[in-house]
Each structure stands twice: as structure tokens, then as C-alpha cells.
Structure 1
């Protein structure tokens, strides 16, 4: 069991963790969620004595981590899969950990077999992929056969088989009565693994509840219906006291009734249903709803678009386009309403956007001096010195 009481951590005027109080209980997988910068990693580091709290207390089975004489036998943790000596083999990395906590040597072979790294036990860890490093870190957490396990982003870098394996491993450990505490940003995977959730935002506790209660309280569930007899179905639902919301595709959403009740009501009035489907919110939707005001880092704009204001954005010219010279009119024929670089030296295109030039003709500048006038050539670029000329002896044409 892990117990936190008023746990607080400040870095100068920045409060990373703000009076956190909760208990991680045995027998269930407890998910630890929060946006980036919420204080999850700092909290887990304080649990393991890697960071000292500014105030508050955290205990592992009633003791501070520093009071555990052989800590790997009490709590196993994976916080950083790359926190290993790259020159050591997987076997010797685990053997060093085992000897420091008086763990039998045979346990190293057992955990390597458990995580599927027996075939590479004699290889140096610096050549491991991210997924193999994750497996080695999990092996280190399991080494002392502890009653408490902590994992920070355990599925990072794992392939689908590895994700399925670690999910079942955590569930199996909890079923044995162990305490399993896992932090992850993969909501879909957390929804399949965790039984209980602890959610923090900006260092403060936001939720400490079961998975089902969290989704129910922080999201909207409804039943979706579609019928060729739209008006009759709407009237029947309204007379029965249900609130019906029409959708753009001609369906209905009813949030104050279950699918079985609504289906029986339609059948009673001999109404044909093309769709009757309960729509349940996902963990991701519920999480986004709860933490919307606690997200510290927001992304803006869209990929490939020009910067919108701020440092580095091109100055707007008088024509309203980035970089356009003052008084420059938009380029006619541009499907985007004007060139961002001002007028082309070739003049506007004589063809509509998307229209190809006639066969055998190239693109030509419209003439003002009558038909048949030769097109004007574009201005030649200024002469630039040859690269490297400043290092050459011009008499011998060699570098000096």
C-alpha cells in the first residue's frame, strides 16, 4: 500500500505538486492520469525517495522509502527504461541489482524469461531497442518479487504483442493481491487495464474514483435512434417524457433512457427502427472533459499553415498577405486569393485556377503592345561570387 498525505513539492515559485492526499490500495490496478506538467513524474519520484518533498509525507507499507533496508523486495519501479549502464549485458545489469538487495541469482534468469529477453541476456543493453529497454526495466521492477509495483509509461515502445502481455501481467499481479500503480497517456490502453483512477491537474487531486464512476460523472452517454418514420418516433418519445435531440444525419439522440426501454417503446407503437445503439463515452472523452482547464501546454494552428502572428511570423504587406510589398495587388488567377510573395515578374496567369494551357503552348505573359509582341524575359538574378573564391589564390586557382 502507498499512502500520500499532503504531499507538496515546490521549485522556487513553481508548485509542481500541491497537497496531494490519496491511497493506492492492493488488489486493483490503479491508473495515474494527468496532462503533461501535472506533476505525475514528480509525485512518483517522491514516492521512491528520488526527490524530497517540500512538505507532506509518503509511506510505503507504513515506512519511508529510505527506511527500507532491501527496497526491491518491497517495491519495484520502472520510471525510466534508459536509466541503465549501456556497457552491461541485460544479465549483469539485473545481477548487479540483485546482489545489492540480497536477491538470489536464479531470480535473474526467471525475470528474463518472464519478460522474453532470455535470448539476448548476454547482449549489451546499449544496442537494445526502446521496446527491449522497456522489457528490461520491467524485469528490474519484478526482480525482488515485491508486493508493490510502479510503472511510468510501461507500454512505450512495445509492439502489439508486448502491449497485450504487459496488460495481462499487471492484471495478474493485482489479482495476486499486489499493489499496482501505473501512469500512462494512452487512454485506450488505460481503459482496458485500470480498475481505479487517480487524476491530477496542475499538481492537485481532481479525481480518486473507480473507472466506471469516473466515465459516468465526466461524460455524456446516450442512445442513438434512426427511423424512416422520424416524426412519429419523435412524437412518441416526447409523449413518453424523453428529451429528443435531432442530429444532422436525420437521427435522434436520447440521453434519458436505455436502449431496451426505447426499443420496446418503438415496438409498442409499431415503428420501424433502422438503428438503436447505446453510445457510451470513452475514458479519453471523460478525461478531456475533466482536465480541460488544467492543461498547461496547448498546441495551436495546423500543420503546414503559415504562422499566425507571434515571433517569426512574416510581416503583412499592404495587400494583406505575408511579405507582400506595400500596395501590391493580389495575383489574379491564384486560387488562394493572392501570392504571399507579391506580384510575379511574369504577370498574372491567363488561365483560370486548375485550367491547363492549350496543347503546344507554354505560359506566356499577356501583351499590352498588341498581338504577337515577344514576351518579356524575367529579370536576371544578380551575379554572386563563386563559392570558395575567398580562399583561392586567383593567380594559381588553388586554395590557400
Structure 2
């Protein structure tokens, strides 16, 4: 378990993390989201003792990182994929980490096999591709068989097979009862991986909730319906107290109702439907809506009439 309480980090007048409190619990994958400059990387560095907080506290299983004996056996982390000496082989890089943390030599070969690097174990890491580097970084995180794992942008440089593999790995680790904390700017991947979300903006906590709750609270859901008897359907929906708006091509968007209810109303009144489908915003759309006011850097088209920040997607990029 990772516990943050009032965590704050200032760099001069710049407040990178502002009174941040949340708990990352075992047994689920917790996603960590935020716009560029939100303070995600700084928060992760403070968890690992790489940066010292200006105020507040962060504990790993009840202890500060500095209090952990053989820390790789408590928490494994991938923050910077190329955090190794290029002149060392993959095997020797992991062996050095193992020896400094009281981890058996046999574990090195185990994690190399887990991440698919056995064939290049004796190759120097300076020749590794970005994807191979990610796999080596993940191997280092797994080396101590820790109860807590933390990954920053774990899918960078991975091919589709690799992305599927790391997604499955994180879910498997959580299913074993481990604490899994992952930051990523790929919303589609996060939607497939995370069970719970922690979202920050400008260093402040914006959301700490389940994936389903986050999307439901920060997006519009409606029922899309199309019928050759559109006017009659509009009357029936209005009489039932449902709000329907036309969106073109004969399509109605019904707010405040479920698809089942709309379908039953149509059937009761003998109305033919050509389309009936519930619509739910994606994680990306919900994220953009929640963080629209927290984006630090905005970009906008020279031909666009909207000022910066008026459109959800403006300037959002990796943080």
C-alpha cells in the first residue's frame, strides 16, 4: 500500500505538488492521470525518495522509502527506462541490482525470461531498442518480487504484442494481491488496464474513484435512437418526461433514460426503431472534460476562432 498525506513540493515559487492525499491499495490496478505539468512524475519521485517533499508525508507499507531494507523487495519501479550503464549486459545490470538488495542470482534469469529478454541477456544494453529497454526496466521492477509495483509510461516503445503483454502482466500482479500504480498518457490503454483512477491537475487532486464512476461523473451518457416515425417517437418520449434532441440524419439523442426504457416505450406505442444504442463517453473524453481548466500548456490552430483552452483537446500531452 502507498499512502500520501498532504504531500507538497515547491521549487522556488513553483508549486509542483499541492497538498496531495490519496491511498494506492492492493489488489487492483490504480491509474495515475494528469495533464502535462500536473505533478505526476514529481509525485512518483517523492514516493521513491528521489525528491524530498516540502511538506506532507508518503509511506510504503507504513514506512518511508529510506527506512526500507533491500527496497527492491518492497517496491519495484519503472520511472526511466534507460536507467542503466550502456556498457553492461542486461544480465549484469540486473545482477548488480540483485546483489545490492540481497536478491538471489537465480532471480535474474527468472525475470529475464518473464519479460522475454533471455535471448539478449548477454548483450550490452547500449544497443537495445526502446522496447527492449522498457522490458529491461520492467524486469528490474520485478526483480525483488515486491508487493508494490509502480510504472511510469510502461508501454512506451512496445509493439502491440508487448502492450498486450504488459497489460496482462499488470492485471495478473494485481490479481495476486499486489499494489500496482501506473501512469500513462495513453487513455485507450488505461481504460483497458486500470480499475481505479487518481487524477491530478496543477499538483492538486481532482479525482480518486473507480474507472466506472470517473467516466459516469465526468461525461454525458445518452441513448441514440433512430426511427422512421421520428415525430411520433418525440411525442412519446416527451410524454414520458424524457428529453430528446435531434442530432442530424434523423437521429435522436435521449438524455436521462436507459436504452431498455426507450425501447419498451417504442414497442408499447407500435413505433419501429432502426437504431437503439446506449452511448457512453470514453475515458479520454471524461479526462479532457475534468482537466480542461488544469492544462498548463495550450496550443491552438492559427485558423481556429476559439481562444486557448476552449476546446477539450487543446495542447494536452504527456505529463
Normalising by structure 1, report the TM-score.
0.75
2:44 equivalent to 1:44 = yes
Which residue does the alignment assign to 1:74? 74
Divergent runs of 4+, >3 A: none
Give 1:21's aligned residue. 21
String of CA shifts for 1:369-400, please: whole Å, max 9, x gaps.
Answer: xxxxxxxxxxxxxxxxxxxxxxxxxxxxxxxx
Q: Kindly provide the CA deviation profile for residues 310-352 of structure 1, in whole angstroms up to 9, marking residues without a partner as x.
A: xxxxxxxxxxxxxxxxxxxxxxxxxxxxxxxxxxxxxxxxxxx
Aligned to 1:53: 53
Size of the alignment, in residue pairs? 303
Looking at structure 1, the residues matched to 111 and 189 of structure 2 have their Cα atoms a distance apart, in angstroms, of 24
More strand by share: 2
1:310 corresponding residue in structure 2: none
Shift of 1:248: 2.0
Q: How does 1:322-337 map to 2 (within 5 A)?
A: none
Instruction: Name the counterpart of 2:308.
Output: none
> Within 1, Cα distance between the matches of 2:19 and 2:232?
56
Q: Per-residue CA shift, 1:117-142, capped at 9, x if unaligned?
A: 00010111111111110000000000
CA distance in structure 2 between the partners assigned to 1:275 and 1:56 by the alignment: 54
Distance in 1 between residues matched to 2:204 and 2:132, nearest whole Å: 34
C-alpha distance in structure 2 between counterparts of 1:266 and 1:220, whole Å = 23
Unaligned runs of 5+ in 2: 304-319
Structure 2: how far apart are the matches of 1:112 and 1:196?
29
Match of 2:92 in 1: 92
Is 1:223 the counterpart of 2:186? The answer is no
Deviation for aligned residue 1:186: 0.6
Alignment of 1:115-264 (within 5 A): 115-264=115-264
CA-CA distance at 1:272 after TM superposition: 1.1
Paired with 2:207 and 2:242, the residues of 1 have a C-alpha distance of 31
Choose between structure 1 and 2: higher helix proportion. Answer: 2
Q: Work out the CA distance in 2 between the residues paired with 1:293 and 1:3.
A: 27
More relative contact order, 1 or 2 (CA 8 Å, 6+ apart):
2
Name the SS of the counterpart of 2:285 in structure 1. Answer: helix
After superposition, the C-alpha distances for 1:6-36 in whole angstroms (9 at most, x for unaligned) are: 1100000000000101111101100000000
- 3-state DSSP class of the match of 2:293? coil
| Match of residue 62 from structure 1 | 62
Partners of 1:83 and 1:109 lie apart in 2 by 19
Is 1:281 equivalent to 2:264 in the alignment?
Answer: no
Max radius of gyration: which structure?
Answer: 1
- Give the drift of 1:97: 0.4
Displacement after TM superposition at 1:241 (Å):
1.1
Provide the TM-score with structure 2 as the length reference: 0.94
Q: CA RMSD in A?
A: 0.8
